[in-house]
Amino acid sequence: MADFLWKSYFKRTTEEKKISAILKENILFADLSSKQLKFVTNIVHLRKYRTGEVIFCQGEVGVGMYIIASGHVNITVEETRTDKNKSPHGIIITKLVSGDFFGELSLVEENGRRSATAVAEEDTSLIGFFKPDLLEILERRPGIGVKIALHLGEVIGRRLKETTDRVSILEEQLTLLQSESST
C-alpha cells in the first residue's frame, strides 16, 4: 500500500516539473518567477488524446487554449471544395508540434466560437489553460494575471497582423488573376 502512495507522489512531482518546464518556454508564462510558475502549474490541466481524437470542433464555444506537451495536432476547417490537403475533419490549415499553442482567443472572447477544428494527429498530451483559470489567477494573484494578459494581448495582436498581411497578399493575387482573365 505504501508503495502505491509513493509512486503516485513521485509521478505527480515529475509531471509537475515537466508541465512547469513547458509553461516556462511558452511566451504567455515566460516572465513568471519560479514561485509564480508553480502557482500556475497547479491550476492548468493535463489531458491525453489518442490518434484521431477531436480536441474541439469548428463552431463550438471556446473555453480555453492548449499547449502541446507532446505529439502533433492538425488544425482544420470545414471544406468548401475538393482539396488535396483534405483530411476526414476538413482541410488542414496547419500542423502544430510540441511547444506550439492554439485556441488562445477563447481566453478573451465572450462565448466566441471556434474558427477551426483541432485533431490529435498522433497520441498527444495537451496542457489546457481555460478562461476560468485565467479569471482565478487575475482574482487571486493579479500580478501574475497581468503578466499573462499582456503577453496574451501581444500574441493575439501578432496573429492578427499576420492574418492581415496574408489577406493583403491574397487580395493582390486575386486582383492580378482577375486582370489577367479579363485580358
Q: What per-residue confidence (pLDDT) applies to 3?
A: 54
Q: What per-residue confidence (pLDDT) applies to 73?
A: 98
Distance CA 16, CA 22 (A): 10
Q: Where are the domains of the chain?
A: 2-182
- For residue 48, what are the β-bridge partners? 125
Distance CA 6, CA 117 (A): 39
Q: What per-residue confidence (pLDDT) applies to 9?
A: 46
Cβ atoms 51, 88 nearer than 8 A: no
Q: What per-residue confidence (pLDDT) applies to 95?
A: 97
Q: Which grid coordinates belong to 109? A: 472572447
Q: What per-residue confidence (pLDDT) applies to 70?
A: 96
Q: What per-residue confidence (pLDDT) applies to 22?
A: 95
Q: What per-residue confidence (pLDDT) applies to 82?
A: 53
Q: What per-residue confidence (pLDDT) applies to 10?
A: 46
Q: Which grid coordinates belong to 85? A: 490537403
> Residue 166 belongs to what H/E stretch?
helix 142-182
Count the Cβ atoms, other than its own, within 10 Å of residue 35: 8
Closest by Cα among 40, 10, 43 to 28:
40
For the chain, 183 residues long, give each residue's pLDDT as a single digit of tens.
455 555 554 455 567 789 999 999 999 999 999 999 999 999 999 999 999 999 999 999 999 999 999 999 999 998 765 555 555 668 999 999 999 999 999 999 988 899 999 999 999 999 999 999 999 999 999 999 999 999 999 999 998 898 898 888 989 888 888 888 876
Distance CA 106, CA 63 (A): 6
Q: In 3-state terms, what secondary structure has residue 97? A: strand
Looking at the domain 2-182, which fold is it? Jelly Rolls (2.60.120)
Q: What per-residue confidence (pLDDT) applies to 5?
A: 52
Q: In 3-state terms, what secondary structure has residue 91? A: strand
